[in-house]
């Protein structure tokens, strides 16, 4: 998921660690290269700039050039700063789902992987946390999307709300809530309709559902391959609907990883999970330490 960035950075750091003694200028040059590598990975400019400045300040503060292993120290500072940039306030994998039935609202553009992610997450909640989950599709304009969720439900052994023709999304959300209460479910997941672009109808519908469901978590699903666009989509969704976290999908693709690095810094919202394939198990918690390790190789 970060192959190119990882390769670029390891080039920079190999040179740095092999060099032995380092001057302030050597560190500056290396950090300039880090900045270029970040920008090429589609990390947003202010994030790349702040990142390099923070590393530079720490390297100066810790008198890196005077240490015995200056190269390694710089790598360590970069690692810590990566973790810092990626870390939110809370444990990304821990969803707020006490007080059953807890509603989780899933939002995002059409094609982002929202329905797939809803099912992946339901499977995870069922298998790892032992939760009883009910899934409901609110995509009344696309019957195929409703059927897709139903098929995935059968595949993973998670119940879906029966499809009733003619209902609007708010009515479906209310029915899901009733069914979840009566059926003793721990969690009910509302898979809202996506559209190709963020428009008035999409936002109005998601907001109306949010207002009746009062979700404990609102997870935005975005396509990680779209780089800075993913960050822009997240900013807009958060402004208009309010989200509690982001799921970045298609991180198995040859994306440059910039969306992952910019997301929290730009939107203030943490990435909670990453999608790593089409299979129902291809969902991972977003763990900054591990991601940073992957980037630095």
Task: Kindly list the residues in this chain that would bind ligand GDP in the complex (CB under 6 A).
Answer: 108, 110-116, 194, 249-250, 252-253, 275-278, 282
Consult the annotation and say whether 113 binds a ligand.
yes
Instruction: Tell me how far, at minimum, the Cβ of 116 lies from ligand GDP, in Å.
Output: 3
Query: Which is nearer to ligand GDP, 1 or 74 (by Cβ)?
Result: 1
Consult the annotation and say whether 11 binds a ligand.
no
Q: What are phi and psi of 84, to 5 degrees?
A: -60, -45
Tell me if 254 sits within 8 A of 146, measured CB to CB.
Answer: no
Consult the annotation and say whether 193 binds a ligand.
yes
Query: Which is nearer to ligand GDP, 42 or 139 (by Cβ)?
Result: 139
Query: Which is nearer to ligand GDP, 20 or 111 (by Cβ)?
Result: 111
CA distances from 98 to 81, 158, 160, 215, 216 (A): 33, 19, 20, 12, 9
Consult the annotation and say whether 207 binds a ligand.
no
Instruction: Tell me how far, at minimum, the Cβ of 281 lies from ligand GDP, in Å.
Output: 11
Nearest to 64 by CA among 35, 17, 27: 27
- What is the spatial distance between Cα 46 and Cα 5, in angstroms, rounded to a whole number? 18
Consult the annotation and say whether 112 binds a ligand.
yes
Structure token digits, residue 139: 């995509």
Number of residue whose CB is nearest ligand GDP? 275
Q: What are phi and psi of 105, to 5 degrees?
A: -95, 130
Query: Which is nearer to ligand GDP, 35 or 124 (by Cβ)?
Result: 124
Query: Which is nearer to ligand GDP, 74 or 106 (by Cβ)?
Result: 106
Instruction: Tell me how far, at minimum, the Cβ of 113 lies from ligand GDP, in Å.
Output: 3
- What is the spatial distance between Cα 212 and Cα 174, in angstroms, rounded to a whole number? 7
Instruction: Tell me how far, at minimum, the Cβ of 70 lies from ligand GDP, in Å.
Output: 39
Consult the annotation and say whether 111 binds a ligand.
yes
Q: What are phi and psi of 43, to 5 degrees?
A: -75, 140
For 140-148, which contacts have Cβ atoms below 8 Å and span 24 or more sequence positions? 140/167, 140/168, 140/169, 140/172, 140/193, 141/193, 142/193, 145/115, 145/191, 145/193, 148/115
CA distances from 245 to 41, 101, 202 (A): 22, 20, 19
- 146 Cβ contact list (under 8 Å, min separation 6): 137, 139, 140, 163
Instruction: Tell me how far, at minimum, the Cβ of 149 lies from ligand GDP, in Å.
Output: 8
Query: Which is nearer to ligand GDP, 129 or 252 (by Cβ)?
Result: 252
Consult the annotation and say whether 109 binds a ligand.
yes
Instruction: Tell me how far, at minimum, the Cβ of 275 lies from ligand GDP, in Å.
Output: 3
Consult the annotation and say whether 115 binds a ligand.
yes
Residue ranges of the binding site for GTP: 108-115, 191-195, 249-252
Residue ranges of the binding site: 108-115, 191-195, 249-252
């Amino acid at each position: 998921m970060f192959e190119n960035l990882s390769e670029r950075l390891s080039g920079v750091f190999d040179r740095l660690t092999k060099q032995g003694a380092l001057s302030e200028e050597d560190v500056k040059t290396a950090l300039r290269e880090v900045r270029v590598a970040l920008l090429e990975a589609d990390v947003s400019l202010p994030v790349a700039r702040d990142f390099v400045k923070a590393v530079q300040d720490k390297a100066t503060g810790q008198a890196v050039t005077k240490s015995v292993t200056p190269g390694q120290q710089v790598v360590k500072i970069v690692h810590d700063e990566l973790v810092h940039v990626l870390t939110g306030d809370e444990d990304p994998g821990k969803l707020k789902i006490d007080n059953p039935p807890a509603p989780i609202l899933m939002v995002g553009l059409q094609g982002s992987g929202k329905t797939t992610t809803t099912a992946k997450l339901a499977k995870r909640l069922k298998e790892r946390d032992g939760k009883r989950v009910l899934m409901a599709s609110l995509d009344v304009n696309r019957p195929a999307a409703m059927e897709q969720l139903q098929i995935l439900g059968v595949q993973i052994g998670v119940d879906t709300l029966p499809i009733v023709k003619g209902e609007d999304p708010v009515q479906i959300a209310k029915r899901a809530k009733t069914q979840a209460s009566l059926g003793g479910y721990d969690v009910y997941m509302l898979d809202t309709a996506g559209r190709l672009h963020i428009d008035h109808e999409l936002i109005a519908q998601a907001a109306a559902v949010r207002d009746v469901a009062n979700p404990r978590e609102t997870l935005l699903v975005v396509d990680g391959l779209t780089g800075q666009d993913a960050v822009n989509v997240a900013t807009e969704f958060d402004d208009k609907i309010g989200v509690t976290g982001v799921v970045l999908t298609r991180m198995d693709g040859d994306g440059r990883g910039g969306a992952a690095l910019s997301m929290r810094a730009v939107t203030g919202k943490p990435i909670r999970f990453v999608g790593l394939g089409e299979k129902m198990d291809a969902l991972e918690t977003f763990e900054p330490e591990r991601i940073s390790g992957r980037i630095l190789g």
